[in-house]
Structure 1
Amino acid sequence: MTYLAHTAHLQFGGLWLACIGWTLTAMALGFIQWRVWQVSNTEVITSGVAWIGIWRACFNSHTEVTGGFRTMHCSYISLTEENTPPEIAAGQVLMLLSLLVGLCGNAGGIYSMRNAYFGVKKNSCVCVGFISTGALFLLAAGMSLIPLLWNLSSVVANRTIEFPPEFKLPESPESQHVGSGIWVGMVGASLMVSAGIIFCSYRLPVKSQPSIQPSLKQQLEQDSHGGAIVSGGKDNPAFESDEHL
């Protein structure tokens, strides 16, 4: 059993990034501000602004209640409706799958960190666990990026949505811009991508081979075969001068 806690500090930070990214992805899933529409008809839509998410379309209105009070009117966007745009339908499915896969990645990351800090019999289990966790994070980020980028391109291209009459929304807005839901989801996906790369880059430490020093007897035998005996002393210059006399 090898101590590997000192090799997994970067992965520990990556796990925190993944947790934050997963939380932001969950927040983006519930936001209604994916696409913000500016509309001219203010009789029903009092503020002139409508918010389109992947689950609901909402706007502020004072005609829904009496006394001039303002309330938010929301309509549920169904996956099975014919008028539901494909980018919104894809967002409903892929964002939920991204949350599920990201949750599995977080669980795998915690288990892998536990193996690294407390030790296992086989070091390869730690490496495989980290790489599998990184792959789950990358897969979760990819699933969320598809609908996020798809809806982003729809806003940039100013595409319209044919809502049913009960939604009380116009067929097309005067203008539209990207809402906070897409930006929050993009940040969350970026954090999960970073965490996935960190986990996949984990490598086991290289074991250093111990150097084998020959014994004194072996050194003497090698020196005798070589015809010389290695001595660690120095020549005495006084003795050499006496020999020349």
Structure 2
Amino acid sequence: MTYLAHTAHAQLAALWLACVGWTLTAVALGLIQWRVWLVSDREVISSGVAWVGVWRACFNSHTHVSPGFRVMHCRYISLTEAFTPPEIAAGQVLMLLSVLVGLSGNAGGVYALKNIYFGTGKSSLIRLPFFISGALCLLAAVMSLIPLLWNLISVVANHTIEFPPEFKMPPAPDSQRVGSGIGVGMVGTVLMIVSGIMFCMYRSPVRSRQLDASVPAQSVTESRRAGGEDNPAFESQEHL
């Protein structure tokens, strides 16, 4: 079996990047700080700041409090609600799919590295899993990048959301800015892209059997050129 561990140092680093990128993508999915709304009316929103995430909208309040959130009032954003903007609906679907596909990409990278470090001399069982892992990581990155950029554009364009009355959210914020959820998701997406490219770039070393087989013949030829003579007894044993 050919020793190939020295050929996969970059892919080992790619697996580490993919794990970190996948973790950041999963964290971004659960954060509420995707869009930060700043409001001047603090009668309900005591802090003057409201957060709109992929799954819920929240703000600190001393008058409206959700059970389990202490002084924070939160309402869940459903995919099927009429008020849900398309960029948030896309985030709910694509970010979740990105987490699942990214997990599959990480699993494929672990399998390919296991074949290198512990096990097989078949190059097809190494190159193909690395390529599939890279493709899955790139696909996961594209899935997460679409809603991240979409929500980023919505914040820059100051798009508002018509929340129902039970959300206690203002019709429109005085201003809004990009939250940490989009930033964390962007970093995770970049890491997934880098890891996917590194996985796909794996190349196993090429060894020519024909070149190895020609070494003894070349040695004999060189010895003859150096003035050596054939041994008749050795040749007669070869014919037996």
TM-score (norm 1): 0.85
Deviations 1:49-101 (A, max 9, x none): 10000100000111136xxxx71000000000011000000000001000100
Shift of 1:142: 0.7
How many Å apart are 1:119 and its aligned residue? 2.9
Are positions 1:215 and 2:220 aligned together? yes
Q: Which amino acid aligns with 2:186?
A: M
1:199 matched to 2:199? The reply is: yes
Question: Equivalent residue for 2:235?
Answer: none
Aligned pair count reads 219
Instruction: Specify the alignment match of 1:23 in structure 2.
Output: 23
Aligned 8 A contact 1:134 1:195 in 2: yes
Counterpart CA distance in 2 for 1:34 and 1:11 is 32
Q: Report deviation, 1:190.
A: 0.5
Q: Is the 8 A contact 1:135 1:196 kept in 2?
A: yes
Letter in 2 for 1:198: M
Distance 2:109 2:222 in 1: 54
Give structure 2 stretches of 5+ with no counterpart: 229-240
Q: What secondary structure is seen at the aligned counterpart in 2 of 1:215?
A: helix
**Amino acid in structure 1 at the alignment position of 2:109:** G
Q: Decide whether aligned partners of structure 1 residues 9 and 214 sit closer, same or farther in structure 2, where only a CA change above 3 A counts.
A: closer
Question: 2:179: which partner in 1?
Answer: 179
How far has the Cα of 1:120 moved from its partner?
1.2
Distance 1:4 1:217, change over 3 A: closer
Tell me how far apart the structure 2 counterparts of residues 48 and 88 of structure 1 sit (CA, whole Å). Answer: 22
Considering fraction of residues, name the structure with more helix. Answer: 2
Alignment of 1:92-107 (within 5 A): 92-107=92-107
Is the partner of 2:173 in helix, strand or coil? Answer: coil
Q: Distance in 1 between matches of 2:116 and 2:172?
A: 55
Task: Give the CA deviation at 1:125.
Answer: 1.5
Query: Helix, strand or coil for the counterpart of 1:213?
Result: helix
* AA in 2 matched with 1:79: L
Contact 1:32/1:52 (<8 A) preserved = yes
- Measured in 2, the distance between the counterparts of 1:131 and 1:217 equals 44
**What is the RMSD of the two structures over their aligned residues, measured on CA atoms?**
1.8
TM-superposed deviation, 1:14: 0.6
1:136 corresponds in structure 2 to 136
2:234 corresponds to: none
The equivalent residue for 2:7 is 7
Q: TM-score, normalised by structure 2?
A: 0.87
Moved over 4 A (4+): none
Distance 1:168 1:77 in 2: 13
**Distance in 1, Cα, partners of 2:36 & 2:221:** 84
| Percentage of matched positions with identical amino acids | 69
The amino acid across from 1:129 in the alignment is P
In 1, Cα distance between equivalents of 2:220 and 2:56: 81
- Name the SS of the counterpart of 2:195 in structure 1: helix
Q: Is the aligned partner of 1:38 residue 2:3?
A: no
Alpha carbons of structure 1 residues 78 and 204: separation in structure 2 relative to 1, 3 Å = same
